[in-house]
Amino acid sequence: MKIITSSKFKNPFLVVELLTKFTVISGTSSEELAKKLAKRLRANLLKSQLRVFPDGESKITIKGKLQKNRIIVVQSTYPPVDENLIQALSIISKAKEHGTEIIAVIPYMGYARQDREFLPGEVITMKVIARLFKSAGASRIIVVDIHSMMGLKYFNINSKNVTAILDLAKYFSKLKLKNPLVVSPDQGGKKRAKEFAKFLNVKYISLKKHRDRKTGKVEIKSSNFNEIIGRDLILVDDMVSTGGSIIKATEFLKKQKCKRVFVACTHALLRNDAEKKIKKAGVIKIISTNTIPGKTSLVDVSDTIAKAIV
């Protein structure tokens, strides 16, 4: 390791860390993000190959030679969740045979919504997942906008959640919006909306949402908001799965005579024709990050993840 002294580097510790040798291994669910991350860290990049047998079993092969250094495994566990999870754990296990430290970067953490026993008899799956990552050999774990911070408490290893809120806000700051207002579709996302609005130097509001735990039905309980009239709205959320909450919120906001409605989210799962249904409800555009690749993932979070690693 050598130390470079230059006026353009404000943080000498960051320089030293960047010169520490990394190897990035990409799982098949996060190839592009892993490539961008490796470039930022000036790290070696190894890809993995997945073969699924007729009986459903997965065979993972890491393409390239693993070296004795710090290894970063990048693999989101979006649908098919179990398949992507097994791949992440398998790569971590193989990396452990060679690496001095194994950093698991799970941009989208599946099962994060199962972080407590909501109804009697429910398994807290997030607790099980946390044990699996440690047993597989992960030394550290980094996630992006995990659905609930409670889930990280189950990890008995160094764990960190980073947020993509500023990355998303920077994207929206470049759009020509009319008197924008940031909206959280529920009270739980109030802090997220506040941070987003602060960066844009605009106001924010949060709606009151009720979800039936048994049926999953969502209702908006909020009263009318006069300040919505004629303004462009940005609905900010951590994830959009089937889009139920976003659709209900959009329908409610449209009744308040707003102008355009945009959606900003970190994780765009968009299951069961969610994008089509959301746009039918009145949303102009959905903007998400590359934690889950897709046509809405226009915001790159590799820089945010790189900063968390070093």
**pLDDT higher at 225 or 98:** 98
pLDDT for the residue 13: 46
pLDDT > 90 in the chain, percent: 79
pLDDT for the residue 157: 94
Q: Which two tokens stand for residue 184?
A: 């959280």
Distance CA 57, CA 34 (A): 24
Tell me the mean pLDDT in the region 108-118.
Answer: 94
Tell me the mean pLDDT in the region 180-202.
Answer: 94
pLDDT for the residue 67: 83
The pTM of this model reads 0.88
pLDDT for the residue 43: 95
CB 186 within 8 A of CB 163: no
How many Å from the N-terminal Cα to the C-terminal Cα in the chain?
15
Q: How far is CA 273 from CA 76, 135, 240, 241, in A?
A: 21, 37, 12, 10
Q: How far is CA 100 from CA 25, 67, 202, 210, in A?
A: 14, 9, 46, 47
**pLDDT higher at 40 or 208:** 40
Q: Show which residues are catalytic.
A: 209
**pLDDT higher at 270 or 20:** 270
**pLDDT higher at 218 or 124:** 124
Q: Please determine, for residue 38, whether its predicted confidence score (pLDDT) is greater than 50.
A: yes
pLDDT for the residue 162: 98
pLDDT bracket for residue 9 (50, 70, 90)? very low
pLDDT for the residue 5: 44
- 190-199, 217-226, 253-262, 290-299: range with lowest mean pLDDT: 217-226
pLDDT bracket for residue 263 (50, 70, 90)? very high
Q: Please determine, for residue 203, whether its predicted confidence score (pLDDT) is greater than 50.
A: yes
Contacts with 43 (C-beta within 8 Å, 6 or more apart), sequence order: 21, 22, 23, 24, 37, 72
- 78-82, 146-150, 180-184: range with lowest mean pLDDT: 146-150
Q: How far is CA 211 from CA 2, 67, 110, 152, in A?
A: 55, 49, 20, 24
Q: Please determine, for residue 47, whether its predicted confidence score (pLDDT) is greater than 60.
A: yes
Tell me the mean pLDDT in the region 5-20.
Answer: 49
Distance CA 45, CA 200 (A): 36
pLDDT tens per residue across span 134-152: 999 999 999 999 998 999 9
Q: Please determine, for residue 282, whether its predicted confidence score (pLDDT) is greater than 90.
A: yes
Distance CA 53, CA 63 (A): 19
Q: Please determine, for residue 285, whether its predicted confidence score (pLDDT) is greater than 60.
A: yes
Average pLDDT over all residues of the chain: 91
| In the block, residue with structure tokens 């089937």 | 242
Tell me the mean pLDDT in the region 220-226.
Answer: 72
